[in-house]
Amino acid sequence: MRLYAIGDLHVGHKQNREALEELTPHPGDGLILCGDIGETMPHLTLVFETATACFDYVFWVPGNHELYTMPDSRQPQGEGKYQECLALARSFGILTPEDPYMRWEGEGGPCIIAPIFTLYDYSFRPAHVSREGALAWAEEENIMATDEALLHPDPYPSRDAWCDKLVSRTEERLQEAAANGIPLIIINHWPLREDLVFIPLIPRFSLWCGTKKTEDWHLRFKAKVVINGHLHVRRTDWIDGVRFEECSLGYPRQWVDAKASGLDINGLLREILPGPPAPLSGNAPTQWRRWG
């Protein structure tokens, strides 16, 4: 029983759908899908069918793309879209942020697998930029997330308010899980820490990358590994003895170097458990994983 992770499959792109077709069976193993696998129910169905055919255990957390309501799609918005995705995942036996956390007894365990959903609240910004001025600050560099048009917060008054509700509810669940004394594997689409956001071509996109309210969750909730996607920058970090894994595949142009080096989607799965040994100091320089 090994546990792997990948995110940001974006199967709306033909090349990524073709890559998914190459996924090979992993009997007895588990796979984490850490968000942004697609925008539509057919996209999610394709990924869920493929993942559950290849792995015995599958975990999924939503990214911003799953929450999109496309124009004229007649799909629900906001919480309604999330519930629609949850129902589809559960129909495949996939564990979601709304299900009881699973105790993992495979290699590297025991651990508690904790899929979560936090969204973002625009707080990943410099101290001199106010919340009211945040979008204008991003627009100064011609940056504006598609979320502003397609990710609706219904029934909440704003994405900030939805994020606040999600964070409060998730804190309670993680606190209860951590009380058992078993290390947690925390899975989220968005990074929990602002210092893990490194996107030099679009630095002000940080607004849509998380919330400062989760900064210390790796310590508060006794995490062994924290997993995210969203940034499309594969990396491994060790902070305070906790391993942080960014596991994105990304858009076709963003994994072309890995493909050119001979890796297919199987080579880009990140092993979470048992995973590499921890550094003696508990901290280590970032390992950039552009090629895998």
Predicted model pTM: 0.97
Q: What is the CATH number of domain 3-288?
A: 3.60.21.10
Locate the domains of the chain by residue range: 3-288
Lookup result for tokens 């951590």: 178
What order of strands is seen across the sheet that includes strand 270-273? 55-60, 26-33, 3-6, 270-273
Which pLDDT does position 71 carry in this prediction? 87
Calculate ∠ Cα 258-262-267, nearest 5°.
70
Per-residue pLDDT of the chain (292 residues; tens, 9 = 90+): 999 999 999 999 999 999 999 999 999 999 999 999 999 999 999 999 999 999 999 999 999 999 999 888 888 999 999 999 999 999 999 999 999 999 999 999 999 999 999 999 999 999 999 999 999 999 999 999 999 999 999 999 999 999 999 999 999 999 999 999 999 999 999 999 999 999 999 999 999 999 999 999 999 999 999 999 999 999 999 999 999 999 999 999 999 999 999 999 999 999 999 999 999 999 999 999 998 8
Which pLDDT does position 113 carry in this prediction? 98
Which pLDDT does position 145 carry in this prediction? 98
Which pLDDT does position 168 carry in this prediction? 98
Return d(Cα 3, Cα 254) in angstroms, integer. 24
Task: Annotate 248-262 with b (16+ C-beta within 10 A) or e (fewer).
Answer: bbbeeebbeebbeee
**C-beta neighbour count of 153 within 10 angstroms:** 17
Cβ-contact 10, 44 below 8 angstroms = no
